[in-house]
Amino acid sequence: MEYHINLPVKQKLINKLAIGDIVYLTGTVYTARDKAHLRIIEYSKNKMHIPFDLNSGVIYHCGPLIRKEDGIWKVVSAGPTTSNRLLDLTPYILEKFNVKFLIGKGGMVGLADEFKRHSSVYLAYTGGCAALASQLTKKISAVYWEDFGMAEAVWELYIEDFGPLIVGIDSHGNDIFKNVKESATKSFKNVILNR
Amino acid sequence: MEFICDKEITYDTVVKATYTILKDSQTNLPEDIIDALKTAKKDEMSDLGKAHLNAIIDNIELSSQKGIPMCQDTGILVFYVDIGKSLTLNFDISDAIKRGVDKATKQIPLRPNSVHPITRINSGNNLGEGIPDINFDVFDGSGLKLTVAPKGAGSENMSALRMFNPNTPISTIDDFIVETVLNAGGMPCPPVIVGVGIGGSFDKSARLSKKALLRDINSMNTHELSVLKKINSLGIGPMGTGGKYTAIGVLINKAFCHTASLPVAINIQCWANRHSSILFEA
């Protein structure tokens, strides 16, 4: 199935999505990498103010390349980063912030149950397709935590028909990356090692 | 791409040449890679794999048309400098390359990617102790060849090196290559190109594996093609969501090694196998 979704997404739609579906998103997303995740958790634990609202929102694992032109931020190139680096930091964020979509690349090993528990969905964007992503990013609405530098700051992006995004982990405990890996491991053991 | 330059080799022309190949490498993939990706797009059986490959081809075309980096990870910068045996230089060529990197970082722009390994503080200009990585070699002649290969971290992080027992059969080495690609799954942005270094020493094997990625993928020999076939039987597919094309190339470079050792290094490269060269003919 192919879905064109306006953000914030309705829970009913989240429940419909299944691994292998293709999704295009329109609306606001926040980029966050390692440092931003650590600070979100630190601030949340210490009840400090987080300057953006993740409730029902979307986190994009992305460290964009941004340029300031005539005082206005412009996205040059903004593809996904490896989601698995954020593995340990993600369960807390799903738990506390009701984030509905995580966008990244490569999957998140062993997190399918967490996505199920919080009715959230992992979307995989084609890694390296940053020029394409920049064309689908219509506006930078704000930047937070600039002290982290360009790649690690939190950028509030307005995206339009952003995709193709592939449902990698759905809200029912299915994980396409796990399925593919299991079958690949099986053929490695049976076909290649068993000569 | 490979540029030819008939200008005099000076500090300024090397700065300019560094900028030229950096910009080209970030916005134009080598023809052999584009052709292989287009073939994969036509031939891929999985719908999801096809969707990824379509996005990749669109992205490559857009990047080239607009002159913007194809990937936001503009990499850590690796240079190969081949110096003609009879060439004399009266300036610091490393310094000229660094100046070119600084200029390219600001003007293309490139993402500032180089940080201190412990404090993680970013230098802001892709320079730092030991960075960019500049490798020197000599060749017969009086010219100068400058190559840049920006290397993204997603694929670099999936690389591996093992010191094998010298009695190890080649089939076990092949298994190690296939298993490394299996373990990487969708994380290094497949379809990947697998650079392999067999022999040399601990560090030399790694150098061989990285430099192998500069070879034309149409130059694969029977052994390399057989390893590629095994990798593509795994079904990991583009971006790890399943399919036929997990890799588009396996490139193995070898060097003699100590009688008591057998190092094997595997450098995984994402589909964006970016590299560009300029040759000063003197």
B102 within some domain: yes
Query: Would you state the torsion angle of the CA atoms of residues B265, B269, B274, B278, taken in this order, to the nearest 10 degrees?
Result: 10
Give the pLDDT score at A195. 59
What is the model's pLDDT at position A150? 86
Number of domains in chain A: 1
- B19 and B143 share one domain: yes
B63: confidence class by pLDDT, cuts 50, 70, 90: very high
Per-residue model confidence as pLDDT tens digits over B3-17: 999 899 999 999 999
* Beta carbons of B189 and B56 less than 8 angstroms apart: no
What is the tens place of the pLDDT at every residue in B17-37?
999 999 999 999 999 999 999
Which residues make beta-bridge pairs with B138?
B83
A positions 152-171 inside 8 Å of B (CB): 164, 166, 168
Of A76, A129, A181, the CB nearest to B56: A129
User: Do residues B156 and B267 lie in contact, with contact meaning Cβ atoms separated by under 8 Å?
Assistant: yes
Answer whether B59 sits within 8 Å of A132, measured CB to CB: yes
Residue B231 lies in a domain: yes
Q: Are residues B22 and B105 in the same domain?
A: yes
Out of B68, B175, B238, name the one closest to residue A134 (CB): B68
Interface contact B235-A128, CB threshold 8 A: no
Residues B120 and B174 in one domain: no
What is the model's pLDDT at position A143? 95
What's the Cα-to-Cα distance from B220 to each of B2, B52, B58, B227, B256, rounded to whole Å? 20, 25, 27, 10, 20
Q: Does B125 share its domain with B21?
A: yes
Q: Count of domains in chain B?
A: 2
Determine the pLDDT at residue A193: 77
Which residues in chain A are contacts of B55 at CB distance < 8 A? 126, 129, 132, 164
Same domain, B88 and B201: no
Cβ-based contacts of A184 with chain B (< 8 Å): 182, 185, 234-236
Which residue range forms the structural domain that includes residue A97?
A: 2-193
Same domain, B231 and B117: no
Report CB contact under 8 Å: B74, A65: yes
Q: Give B176's Cβ-side CA count (13 Å radius).
A: 21
pTM of the model: 0.93
CATH label of the domain that carries residue A101: 3.20.130.10
Pair (B84, B168) in one structural domain? no
Residues of B whose CB is below 8 A from A64 = 72
User: Which B-chain residues 234-263 have CB contacts (< 8 A) with chain A?
Assistant: 234-242
Mean pLDDT by 10 residues, chain A (195 residues): 95 96 97 96 96 94 90 88 94 94 95 96 95 92 92 94 96 97 94 72
Same domain as B249, residue B204: yes
Contact between A149 and B124 using a beta-carbon 8 Å cutoff:
yes
Q: Are B256 and B163 contained in the same domain?
A: yes
pLDDT at position A151, please? Answer: 87
Characterize B104-140 residue by residue with b for buried, 16 or more Cβ atoms within 10 angstroms of its Cβ, and e for exposed: bbeebbbbbbbbeeeeeebeebbbbeebbebeeeeee
ipTM of the shown complex: 0.89
Asked if B196 and B137 sit in the same domain, the reply is: no
CA distance B156 to A150: 21
Q: Tell me if chain B has a CB within 8 Å of the CB of A62.
A: yes
CA–CA gap between residue B204 and residue B185 (Å, rounded): 26
Which candidate from A77, A184, A192 shows the least CB-CB separation from B68?
Answer: A77
Mean pLDDT throughout B95-123? 95
CA–CA dist B161, B206 (Å, integer): 7
CA neighbours within 13 Å on the CB side: how many for B221?
Answer: 4
- The catalytic site residues of A sit at 37
Q: Tell me, yes or no, whether B223 lies in a domain.
A: yes
Spell out a b/e string for A17-34, using b for 16 or more CB atoms within 10 Å of the CB, else e: bebbbbbbbbbbbbbbbb
Q: Which amino acid is at B167?
A: N
Tell whether B114 is covered by a domain. Answer: yes
Cα torsion for B40, B43, B44, B47, to the nearest 10°? 120
* Residue B206 belongs to a domain: yes
Q: Are B48 and B127 in contact (CB under 8 A)?
A: no
Average pLDDT, chain B: 96
What is the model's pLDDT at position A105? 94
The closest CB to that of A149, out of B112, B236, B240, belongs to: B112
Q: Are residues B117 and B184 in the same domain?
A: no
What pLDDT, on a 0 to 100 scale, did the predictor assign at position A129?
Answer: 93
Chain A residues lying within 8 Å of B68, measured CB to CB: 76-77, 131, 134
Q: pLDDT at residue B282 above 80?
A: no
Mutate to test the interface with B, among A188, A191, A193, A195 (most CBs of B within 10 A): A188
The band of B263, judged by pLDDT with boundaries at 50, 70 and 90, is very high
Which residues of chain A have a CB within 8 Å of the CB of B185?
106-107, 177, 180-181, 184
Domain that holds residue B253: 154-269
If asked whether residues B130 and B206 sit together in one domain, one would say: no
